[in-house]
């Protein structure tokens, strides 16, 4: 492993939440700017490039891993969006990143082959219907877009980032994608008057205790211990 890969694939769950007014600063890629290009393999070992994905339409990237409860929470909604929107020019992809809650059963990554095995297990256990892209062992895609375990990004077919969020809220993403497709319809009108808007928001999420417990149990007891070490008041109470 390279030094960069060792630093990226931390063996323990660690988190340092910034103040609410600085959350946006944790995501390096900006809305309206060109999204970072990348090249990575899918589970069939096919090399995928962002520019090629954009040639087919808009691109949605959700970060995730088998030890991330928030990833498990989002997958059913992302499956529905894939079924509904793939024929409308929206490609949805899961980017397999580092383990957010590594445990005895699914520890931090020490090889790319291990990372691919974890990605295949996530696909099997959670019934993922959309393609999985496996990030490099160094986390090249993850680090260029942002460090959050289940962040989500929508990239316009022209290469600009149009949407970003630290957590995948599938209701919000679905609404945005429908708005984006409606915007596509408007922009083909040569007589339109441009009226571009920009927005940001903060929202509290209610974590699903049952899914958190299921995913931590899948990862191993260490996942619980890491969480309780950071939040001792919740020991043996949540999840």
Q: What is the pLDDT along the chain (239 residues), one digit of tens a residue?
A: 899 999 999 999 988 888 988 999 999 999 999 999 999 999 999 999 999 999 999 999 999 999 999 999 999 999 999 999 999 999 999 999 999 999 999 999 999 999 999 999 999 999 999 999 999 999 999 999 999 999 999 999 999 999 999 999 999 999 999 999 999 988 777 777 888 899 999 999 888 999 999 999 999 999 999 999 999 999 989 99
Q: Check: CB of residue 161 under 8 Å from CB of residue 32.
A: yes
Which pLDDT value is given to residue 17? 82
Please give the structure tokens belonging to residue 87. 């024929």
* Cα-based distances in Å from 8 to 23, 110, 147, 151, 186: 20, 10, 10, 16, 43
Domains present along the chain, CATH in parentheses: 3-13+23-172+206-234 (3.40.30.10)
Please give the structure tokens belonging to residue 45. 């070992």
Which pLDDT value is given to residue 54? 97
Which pLDDT value is given to residue 31? 97
Which pLDDT value is given to residue 93? 98
Give the CA-trace dihedral at 8, 105, 123, 96, to 10 degrees.
Answer: 0
- DSSP annotation of 31: T
The span from the CA of 171 to the CA of 17, in Å, is: 24
Please give the structure tokens belonging to residue 162. 């149009």
Which pLDDT value is given to residue 75? 98
* Cα-based distances in Å from 56 to 53, 87, 159, 210: 6, 10, 12, 37
Which pLDDT value is given to residue 37? 97
Q: Check: CB of residue 42 under 8 Å from CB of residue 134.
A: yes
């Amino acid at each position: 492993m390279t030094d960069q890969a060792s630093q990226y694939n931390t063996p323990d769950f660690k988190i340092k939440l910034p103040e609410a007014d600085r959350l946006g600063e944790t995501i390096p890629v900006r809305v309206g700017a060109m999204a970072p290009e990348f090249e990575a393999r899918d589970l069939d070992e096919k090399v995928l490039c962002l520019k090629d994905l954009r040639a087919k339409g808009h691109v949605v990237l959700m970060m995730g891993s088998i030890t991330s409860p928030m990833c498990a929470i989002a997958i059913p909604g992302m499956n529905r969006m894939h079924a509904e929107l793939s024929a409308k020019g929206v490609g949805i992809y899961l980017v397999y990143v580092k383990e957010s809650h590594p445990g005895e059963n699914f520890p931090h990554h020490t090889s790319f082959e291990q990372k691919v095995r974890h990605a295949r297990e996530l696909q099997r256990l959670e019934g993922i219907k959309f393609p999985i892209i496996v990030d490099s062992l160094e986390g090249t895609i993850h680090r260029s877009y942002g460090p959050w375990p289940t962040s989500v990004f929508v990239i316009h077919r022209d290469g600009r980032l149009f949407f970003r969020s630290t957590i995948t809220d599938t209701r919000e993403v679905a609404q945005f994608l429908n708005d984006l497709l409606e915007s596509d319809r408007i922009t083909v009108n040569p007589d339109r008057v441009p009226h571009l808007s920009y927005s940001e928001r903060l929202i509290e999420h209610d974590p699903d205790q049952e899914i958190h417990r299921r995913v931590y149990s899948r990862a191993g007891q260490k996942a619980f211990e890491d969480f309780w070490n950071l939040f001792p008041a919740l020991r043996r109470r949540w999840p």
